[in-house]
Amino acid sequence: MEVQQRAKPERASLFGNRHGRHGRPHRRLFLVALVAALAGVLTSLTVLAVTGRLPGGGAPAAAPAAPASRVAPGAPAGWPAWGFTHTQNSVDPRSGPAQALADIGSQPVPQAVPIMGWGVDNPEPRKGGYNWGTLDRRMQAVRQTRGVPVVTLCCSPDWMKGGAPGTTDWSKLEKPVDRAHFDDFAALAAEVARRYPDVRYYAVWNEFKGFWNQAANRWDYEGYTDLYNKVYAALKKVDSDIRVGGPYMVLNSSAPGVQSSGPPSELAGPWGSMDQRDLDALKYWYAHKKGADFLAVDGASLPQQPGARVDEFTALRKFSDATRWLRGLDGGLPVWWAEWYVEPAASGWTDEHRGAVQAVAMMEFIEGGASSAFYWNPQGADANDCAGCLWYGSAHGGGGTPTLQNLQSFGRWFPPGTPLVRARSSNPAVRVLAQPHRMVAVNTSAQAASARIDGATLTLAPYEVKWAAR
């Protein structure tokens, strides 16, 4: 859809004039991406011809949904969309940093909090003996910054997984709940819901942690789904209006041309191919769940193979392709990305480079039809030197970074229900996402770039992210 040119657009640039470390240029590999996409299609057709079945062990492949024409299709009004997760060293109402709390609250965003781990103590060290102190403070921080609170129901007290009552062994945080204690974990979830009646959104568990069937070389999706169903029923008994989702499956992928140790995949693209075992777990949960209000997943855009050479912007297509596949599974369930990652270890990216990749990732979520995406804040012990963090350490004022500002801009200008308008860019290196009154443009190259958008010329510095009125 063409739009009329607006005179003198208001423009704001993020990630500009900030000097990062050891930036290195990349060019988009359009021909490579096209060849990889065709290879993925041919691989699926070959599997069908040779085996007489679709990829995925004979289960029917989901037909991907069409790209979204509005933000978060199917999500109700007020749905929590673009937010972040509190991690180990997060903001705190007592210890600050005060400026970070103020900056987060200036444009509220949804905020996810786990019930144990990542800075939160064991909530039930022994059966019936609760310890809410650190979780209370995390919830207070969400309220103080006017965020929509989201609770991640992970992980479990030690006595639910073979440990002694009253003890906490943090090295065993990711152990799964013993089946004999599924009811106890569901009861804990209900206690959380009663303690925080303002929380309306709950994701059950985290990345299938511990639920792996080594003998069968696949996920223990039967065990996870049984736990999920008990938690779902317990939360709905507390309040039928609580929104519950799962399975919080991590979507791993392999580089183009690399086959995982699982069966052939039904989902592939220029970014590579999805691990079919992850998709099979999703489909089992979907077929056997008692109910759900959203479908939660997470994952990295880049493939699992260390050192795999995949253009970082091409790799982001995984987010929109996976979202469309999930929407094809059930168009009535909002797709919820509980975590997402885009940067390889020791990338050497500048802040501008990182910001451009993160902004295009958000574009892919929105264009694919995702309803929510939660940025995993990499806040470390030294927040003064933390690449990609949402706020600085107190030594640098403790305020929000451009990463936080960019996240807040997507929340402000692209909330659920916002119509998406097609805005053409004359330069393939410049990506653009638009709604009727606002757009964001991203230069995906390490050189300055110009593009005609909406009939006007827009010039961007290397890896610049620019917001503009339309």
Query: Using one digit for the tens of pLDDT, what is the confidence trace for 27-37?
Result: 333 333 333 33
User: Bridge partners of 272?
Assistant: 269
Backbone angles phi, psi at 192, to 5 degrees: -60, -45
Least confident of 53-57, 130-134, 408-412: 53-57
Query: Using one digit for the tens of pLDDT, what is the confidence trace for 192-243?
Result: 999 999 999 999 999 999 999 999 999 999 999 999 999 999 999 999 999 9
pLDDT at 277 over 80: yes
Find the length of the chain: 470
Residue-averaged pLDDT of the chain = 88
CA distance 313 to 334: 25
Least confident of 55-64, 181-190, 378-387, 407-416: 55-64
Mean pLDDT of 232-257: 97
Query: Using one digit for the tens of pLDDT, what is the confidence trace for 287-310?
Result: 999 999 999 999 999 999 988 889
- Do 34 and 270 contact (CB within 8 A), yes or no? yes
Mean pLDDT of 77-89: 95
Least confident of 111-115, 188-192, 395-399, 432-436: 395-399
pLDDT at 158 over 60: yes
CA distance 428 to 450: 10
Instruction: Say what the pLDDT of residue 19 is.
Output: 36
Count CB atoms within 10 A of the CB of residue 12: 13
Higher pLDDT, 123 or 23: 123
User: Bridge partners of 33?
Assistant: none
Instruction: Say what the pLDDT of residue 59 is.
Output: 52
Instruction: Say what the pLDDT of residue 17 is.
Output: 42
Least confident of 55-59, 204-208, 284-288, 391-395: 55-59
User: Bridge partners of 111?
Assistant: 84, 149
Percent of the chain with pLDDT over 90: 79
Beta strands at 272-274 and 253-254: parallel, antiparallel or unpaired: antiparallel
pLDDT at 255 over 50: yes
Nearest partner of 138 among 169, 112, 158, judged by Cα: 112
Nearest partner of 300 among 375, 352, 402, 369, judged by Cα: 375
Instruction: Say what the pLDDT of residue 380 is.
Output: 62
Instruction: Say what the pLDDT of residue 337 is.
Output: 98
Instruction: Say what the pLDDT of residue 306 is.
Output: 86
- Do 414 and 82 contact (CB within 8 A), yes or no? yes
Give the tokens for residue 278.
């992850």
Instruction: Say what the pLDDT of residue 35 is.
Output: 37
CA-CA distances (angstroms) from residue 177 to 162, 182, 428?
A: 9, 7, 49
Task: Name residues whose C-beta falls within 8 Å of residue 398's C-beta, 6 or more positions apart in sequence.
Answer: 96, 97, 98, 99, 100, 391, 392
pLDDT band at 397 (very low <50, low <70, confident <90, very high): confident
Least confident of 119-133, 178-192, 259-273: 259-273
Instruction: Say what the pLDDT of residue 249 is.
Output: 98
Mean pLDDT of 18-46: 37
Instruction: Say what the pLDDT of residue 31 is.
Output: 36
Instruction: Say what the pLDDT of residue 95 is.
Output: 86
**What is the identity of the amino acid at 355?**
G
Least confident of 36-40, 166-170, 240-244: 36-40
3-state SS of the chain is: CCCCCCCCCCEEEECCCCCCCCCCCCCCCHHHHHHHHHHHHHHHHHHHHHHCCCCCCCCCCCCCCCCCCECCCCCCCCCCCEEEECCCCCCECCCECHHHHHHHHHCCCCEEEECCECCECCCCCECCECCCHHHHHHHHHHHHCCCCEEEEECCCCHHHCCCCCCCCCHHHCCCCCCHHHHHHHHHHHHHHHHHCCCCCEEEECCCCCCCEECCCCEECHHHHHHHHHHHHHHHHHHCCCCEEEEEEEECCEECCCCCCCCCCCCCEECCEEECHHHHHHHHHHHHHCCCCCEEEEEEECCCCCCCCCCCHHHHCHHHHHHHHHHHHHCCCCCEEEEEEECCCCCCCCCHHHHHHHHHHHHHHHHHHCCCEEEEECCCCCCHHHCCCCCECCHHHCCCECHHHHHHHHHHHHCCCCCECECCCECCCCEEEEECCCEEEEEECCCCCEEEEECCEEEEECCCCEEEEEC
